[in-house]
Structure 1
Amino acid sequence: MPRAERERQMIEVAESVFAERGYVAASMDEIAEQVGVSKPMLYEYFHSKEGLLLACIAESRAELRKVTEESVAGALSAEDALRRGLLAFFVYIRDRRQAWSLLRHEMVLIGTSASEEIEATRRQQTDLIAKLMIGYFDTGSPLRVEAAAEFVVGACERLAIWCERHDEVTPERATDYAMDVLWSGLRERAR
Structure 2
Amino acid sequence: MGGGRTRRMPRAERERQMLDAAVQIIARHGYAAASMDEIAELAGVSKPLVYLYLNSKDDLFTACIRREAAALTRAVRAAVRSALPADRRLWAGVLAFFTYTAEHPDGWTVLHLQARTHGPRFAAEADAVRAEMTAFVTRLIATAARESPHSRDLPARETEGLAVALIGAAESLADWTNTIPAATAVQAATTLMNFAWSGLGDLMSGEQWTEPVGA
TM-score, normalised by the number of residues in structure 1: 0.92
Report the AA paired with residue 109 of structure 1: T
| Deviation (angstroms), 1:61 | 0.6
Match of 1:126 in 2: 134
Q: In structure 2, the residue corresponding to 1:104 is in which secondary structure? A: helix
Shift of 1:142: 1.6
Matched-pair contact (CA < 8 Å) for 2:111–2:126: yes
State the 1:75 CA deviation: 4.6
Aligned counterpart for 2:165 among listed residues 136, 151, 155: 151
Q: Distance in 1 between matches of 2:135 and 2:11?
A: 32
1:106 and 1:141 map into 2 onto residues whose CA distance is 34
Which of 171, 175, 179 aligns to 2:189? It is 175
RMSD: 1.8
SS at structure 1 position matched to 2:63: helix
| Identity over aligned pairs, percent | 38
Shift of 1:92: 0.6
Runs of 4+ in 1 over 4 A off after TM superposition: none
Offset, 1:79: 0.4
CA displacement at 1:139 relative to structure 2 = 4.2
2:95/2:186 contact within 8 Å kept: yes
Offset at residue 37 of structure 1 (A): 2.0
TM-score where L is the length of structure 2: 0.82
The residue that corresponds to 2:124 in the other structure is 116
Q: Summarize the alignment of residues 1-191 of structure 1 with structure 2, pairs less than 5 Å apart.
A: 1-106=9-114, 109-137=117-145, 138-190=152-204
Tell me, in whole angstroms, the C-alpha distance in 1 between the residues paired with 2:162 and 2:86. Answer: 14
Amino acid at match of 1:117: E
Structure 2 portions without partners, runs of 5+: 1-8, 146-151, 206-215
Q: Give the structure, 1 or 2, with the largest relative contact order (CA under 8 Å, sep 6 or more).
A: 1
- Between stretches 5-14 and 165-174, larger displacement belongs to 165-174
Deviation, 1:144, is 1.4
More moved, 128-137 vs 46-55 = 128-137
The answer to which of 104-113 and 67-76 deviates more is 104-113
Q: Which has the larger radius of gyration?
A: 2
Distance in 1 between the 2:34 and 2:103 partners?
22
* Greater CA drift, 107-116 or 21-30: 107-116
In 2, Cα distance between equivalents of 1:158 and 1:6: 33
Partners of 1:182 and 1:17 in 2: CA distance: 35
* Helix, strand or coil at the partner of 2:48: helix
- Answer yes or no: is the 8 Å Cα contact 1:133–1:139 preserved in 2: no
How many residues were matched structurally?
A: 191
Per-residue CA shift, 1:16-62, capped at 9, x if unaligned? 11112111111111111222222222122222111111111111111
Which letter does structure 2 place at the counterpart of 1:53? F
Which deviates more, 77-86 or 34-43? 34-43
Distance 1:130 1:112 in 2: 25
Larger % of helix: which? 1
